[in-house]
A = this chain, B = another copy of it.
Amino acid sequence: MFDALHQLVAQFVTFTDREKAILENAFVFKQVPRKFSLVRQGQVANELYFINKGMLRLFYENEGDEITAFIFRENLFASSYDSFLRQAPSIQSLEALEEADLLVITQPKMNELYEALPKFNVLTRKIAEQRFINAQQILSSFLLDSPEERYAKFVEQNGDLLLRVPHHLIASYLGMTPVSMSRIRNRLAQQKR
Residues in chain A within 8 A of chain B (CB atoms) = 60, 62, 67-69, 81-82, 85-86, 91, 118, 121-122, 124-125, 128-129, 131-133, 135-136, 138-140, 142-144, 172-173, 175
Contact = CB atoms under 8 A, between A and B. Distances in A.
Contacts of A138: 139
Contact of A132 (B122, B135, B173): B135
B131 A121 contact: no
A136 B82 contact: yes
Nearest to A82: B133
Contact of A139 (B118, B122, B128, B135): B135
Nearest to A145: B62
Given A131-B132, A143-B172, 17 more contacts: A60-B140, A60-B143, A62-B144, A67-B143, A67-B144, A69-B136, A69-B139, A81-B132, A82-B133, A121-B121, A121-B122, A121-B125, A128-B128, A132-B132, A135-B139, A139-B142, A143-B173
